[in-house]
């Protein structure tokens, strides 16, 4: 590869696209220039999708895209387009659907071949170099000799993609009252998915799926069901003990390649860590545990240290690779760690982290993972818990200093709206759980940064921010998750500007994304680029579906602003997926949380007066599955009218627009909120 050669990607802002700027492949970014060239020269599009932290994307790049011979084939017969799936999830969705329809599987790198108008006729994932050359030759031959057949395939495939998730649903115009009995039945479908011994879902690889476990938190709080509690606790504990959690530096990797959480796929993503911080923070509120508190604090420290620059915005990810090797930054040789630990502590230290002379991973390397939770290990080894934890923290700091001197994994330093929104919510949840005002301040700074840099003069959002510039129009995911985080931020800060901004964004969604025929929202705006399909996200996955988030925020905004129309749209959306809740529970977990709010109606907790923030902040150290908080020192919402009493801060607990006797006693109010759902 000639490192001096620059292709068009040298002008890109995406760190992933910039990784390919020296390829001999004549890459284009997605846009009219590439599409025009394909039409003019009657060549198929070769659409290659990946992201900066993707290990197998790097492998294919080194094997094929940096190879002169392969590049010559690609350039001669195709118009080659490189896409960062994190910047353009709308394009990724379309061609990923094509791969899954054709091959039954997906993943990245994603390589799709399409007619000059963008309709795909073939798509698959990673190819070794020799296989890739054969694919290129075969597709070129088919395009030149069997074009009619490819056009037929493209047409059928495009129709399948356009139907998408909605093909599985029978639209309904009715809404049914969701009862507590209905809600209780939701757990039934989880049994076939859950791994009761090692947590998470059965099989390998294991993805954290934080939103699924957030639902079980809510479910246990409402029902006190022991099966839900056990599934939840074993998942939290095994993830936090495992190699998927960075035991030295904090933060979680994207997933575990095995079924015991030991060997991570070492890339670390902002969206995973944001959601897992939220999950462990909420769990700590429901059943306080110093171990969970530590996971929250360490993970926030990691994100602040390694996924953040000088501005309040957070970066997207850290690579799995360093020095061309997956996981090299994170793993240890036995003797390398032994050098840093005092001789008298080594016997218990190596047992605690399950270190072996021959290694517990490949190439005689060790991945640190806990044998037991610290409290249990201390008891079994007759060590004082505080002494154990203090020594562990000292050694972790020492090992982190050693590791910091290594070559670091690559950083994807773009700022994405939806992922930052999740981090904003994580900081709010952590602030409540750990009673830490610094986290709240950081969340407010982030909101201010996003308002200044990701909001356009018309009030619309941008998706990305890099080098002082935002260039891509936002998608439903960005709007929905930012609305959710702003609602969360308002409930802790009582700053009405956050709730008003959330309302403004929801109105834009109803104008630009809403589809009255299905009662759902499109992923892309009616104002944006029109691709071959306009998709809808319905299934919750590693990130909740943008439609499930939208349904929840409309429900909440409807209550805050006393707007029944928003609540009715939310209920209608839930009705469309209701059957799926009982069949595929973990993949409709966010929808199921909305069902919980319908089965156990929301309580409005209004705190008014000079001490409103202080009192509410203290109250919210508890986990309330169906309470919303509002208030401050101003009657700036209709629900607050007439509730501000001069000289004293008062707590009102209301349900169905009827309030209990107001109180000034925090303990009494908390007891009332926890006593009945």
* CATH for 305: 1.50.10.10
Distances (CA, A) of 355 to 207, 261, 416, 626: 24, 16, 38, 44
- Taking Cα atoms as reference points, which of 320, 401, 331 lies closest to residue 366? 331
The Cα 186–Cα 592 span in angstroms is 8
Does residue 265 share a domain with residue 233?
A: yes
Does residue 212 share a domain with residue 100?
A: no
Please, which pLDDT band fits residue 2 given cuts at 50, 70 and 90?
Answer: very low
Does residue 215 share a domain with residue 116?
A: no
- Residue 644 phi, psi dihedral angles, 5° rounding: -85, 115
User: How many CB atoms are located within 10 Å of the residue 441 CB?
Assistant: 13
What end-to-end distance do the CA atoms of the chain give, in Å?
65
Please, which pLDDT band fits residue 174 given cuts at 50, 70 and 90?
Answer: confident
What is the per-residue pLDDT for 1? 43
Domain membership flag for residue 175: no
- Taking Cα atoms as reference points, which of 266, 258, 250, 204 lies closest to residue 54? 266
DSSP β-bridge partners for residue 439: none
Does residue 564 share a domain with residue 551?
A: yes
Domain membership flag for residue 3: no
Does residue 585 share a domain with residue 557?
A: yes
The Cα 46–Cα 123 span in angstroms is 10
The Cα 200–Cα 256 span in angstroms is 11
Average pLDDT over residues 165-182: 76
pTM of the model: 0.95
Domain membership flag for residue 518: yes
- The yes-or-no verdict on residue 296 having pLDDT over 50 is yes
Domain membership flag for residue 211: yes
User: How many CB atoms are located within 10 Å of the residue 386 CB?
Assistant: 10
The Cα 256–Cα 585 span in angstroms is 22
Domain membership flag for residue 49: yes
What is the per-residue pLDDT for 169? 67
Phi/psi region, residue 569 (left: phi>0; alpha: psi -120 to 50; beta: rest), is alpha
Does residue 559 share a domain with residue 512?
A: yes
Answer with the one of 351, 379, 405 that is the final residue of a domain.
405
Domain membership flag for residue 59: yes
Task: Please tell me the number of Cα atoms within 13 Å of 102 on its side-chain side.
Answer: 23
**Cα-based angle 269, 270, 273 (whole degrees, multiple of 5):** 90
- The string of pLDDT tens digits covering residues 179-207 is 999 999 999 989 889 999 999 999 999 99
- CATH number of the domain that 150 lies in? 3.40.30.10
- Taking Cα atoms as reference points, which of 266, 269, 368 lies closest to residue 326? 266
- The yes-or-no verdict on residue 443 having pLDDT over 80 is yes
Does residue 566 share a domain with residue 632?
A: no
Average pLDDT over residues 317-335: 94
Answer with the one of 405, 428, 453 that is the final residue of a domain.
405
More confident: 4 or 588: 588
Q: Is 125 helix (H, G, I), strand (E, B) or coil?
A: coil
Does residue 559 share a domain with residue 425?
A: yes
Say if residue 141 is exposed, middle or buried (CB neighbours under 10 Å; 0-12, 13-18, 19+). exposed
- The yes-or-no verdict on residue 374 having pLDDT over 50 is yes
* Number of continuous H segments (helices) and E segments (strands) in the chain: 25, 20
Does residue 227 share a domain with residue 102?
A: no
Does residue 141 share a domain with residue 54?
A: yes
Domain membership flag for residue 173: no
Overall number of domains in the chain: 4
Does residue 186 share a domain with residue 110?
A: no
Range of the domain at 507: 180-329+412-599
- The string of pLDDT tens digits covering residues 594-636 is 999 999 999 999 999 999 999 999 999 999 999 999 999 999 9
Does residue 453 share a domain with residue 589?
A: yes
Answer with the one of 582, 599, 616 that is the final residue of a domain.
599
């Amino acid at each position: 590869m000639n490192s001096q050669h620059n292709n068009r990607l040298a002008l890109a802002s995406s760190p992933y696209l910039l990784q390919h700027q020296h390829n001999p492949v004549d890459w284009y970014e997605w846009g009219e220039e590439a599409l025009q060239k394909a039409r003019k020269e009657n060549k198929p599009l070769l659409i290659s999708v990946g992201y900066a932290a993707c290990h197998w994307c790097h492998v294919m790049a080194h094997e094929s895209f940096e190879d002169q011979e392969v590049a010559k084939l690609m350039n001669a017969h195709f118009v080659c387009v490189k896409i960062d799936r994190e910047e353009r999830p709308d394009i990724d969705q379309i061609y990923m659907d094509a791969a899954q329809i054709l091959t039954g599987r997906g993943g990245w790198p994603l390589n799709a071949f399409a007619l000059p108008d963008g309709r795909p006729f073939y798509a698959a994932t990673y190819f070794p170099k020799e296989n890739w050359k054969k694919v290129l030759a075969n597709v070129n031959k088919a395009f030149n000799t069997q074009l009619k057949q490819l056009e037929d395939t493209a047409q059928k495939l495009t129709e399948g993609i356009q139907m998408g998730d909605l093909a599985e649903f029978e639209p309904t115009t009715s809404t049914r009252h969701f009862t507590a009995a209905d809600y209780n039945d939701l757990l039934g479908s989880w049994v076939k998915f859950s791994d009761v011994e090692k947590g998470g879902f059965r099989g390998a690889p294991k993805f954290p799926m934080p939103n699924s476990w957030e639902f079980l938190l809510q479910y246990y709080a409402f029902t006190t069901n022991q099966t839900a509690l056990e599934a939840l606790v074993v998942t939290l504990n095994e993830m936090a003990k495992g190699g998927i959690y960075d035991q030295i530096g904090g933060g979680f990797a994207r997933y575990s390649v095995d079924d015991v959480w030991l060997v991570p796929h070492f890339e670390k993503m902002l969206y995973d860590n944001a959601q897992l911080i939220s999950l462990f923070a909420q769990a700590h509120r429901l059943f306080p545990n110093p171990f969970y508190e530590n996971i929250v604090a360490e993970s926030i420290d990691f994100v602040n240290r390694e996924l953040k620059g000088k501005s309040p915005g957070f970066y997207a990810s850290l690579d799995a690779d360093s020095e061309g090797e997956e996981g090299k930054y994170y793993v240890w040789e036995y003797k390398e760690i032994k050098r840093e630990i005092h001789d008298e502590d080594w016997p218990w230290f190596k047992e605690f982290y399950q270190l072996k002379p021959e290694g517990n991973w490949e190439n005689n390397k060790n991945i640190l993972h806990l044998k037991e939770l610290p409290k249990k290990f201390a008891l079994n080894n007759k060590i004082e818990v505080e002494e154990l934890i203090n020594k562990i923290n000292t050694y972790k700091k020492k090992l982190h200093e050693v590791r910091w001197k290594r070559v670091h994994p690559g950083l994807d330093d773009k700022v994405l709206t939806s992922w930052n929104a999740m981090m904003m919510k994580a900081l709010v949840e952590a602030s409540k759980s750990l009673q830490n005002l610094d986290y709240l301040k950081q969340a407010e700074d982030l909101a201010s940064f996003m308002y200044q840099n990701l909001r356009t003069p018309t009030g619309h959002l941008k998706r990305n921010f890099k080098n002082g510039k935002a260039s891509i129009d936002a998608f439903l995911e960005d709007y929905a998750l930012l609305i959710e985080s702003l609602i969360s931020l308002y409930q802790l800060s009582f700053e009405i500007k956050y709730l008003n901004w959330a309302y403004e964004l929801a109105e834009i969604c109803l104008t630009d994304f809403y589809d009255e025929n299905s009662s759902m929202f499109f992923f892309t705006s009616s104002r944006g680029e029109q691709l071959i399909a306009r998709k809808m996200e319905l299934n919750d996955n590693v990130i909740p579906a943008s439609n499930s988030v939208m349904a929840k925020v409309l429900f909440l905004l409807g209550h805050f602003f006393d707007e029944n129309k928003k609540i009715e749209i939310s209920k209608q959306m839930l009705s469309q997926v209701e059957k799926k809740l009982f069949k595929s529970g973990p993949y409709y977990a966010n929808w199921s949380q909305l069902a919980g709010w319908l089965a156990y109606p929301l309580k409005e907790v209004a705190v008014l007066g000079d001490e409103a923030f202080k009192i509410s902040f203290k109250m919210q150290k508890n986990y309330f599955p169906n309470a919303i908080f509002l208030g401050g020192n101003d009657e700036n919402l209709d629900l607050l009218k007439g509730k501000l009493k001069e000289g004293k801060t008062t707590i009102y607990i209301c349900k169905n627009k009827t309030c209990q006797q107001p109180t000034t006693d925090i303990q009494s109010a908390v007891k009332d909120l926890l006593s009945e759902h």
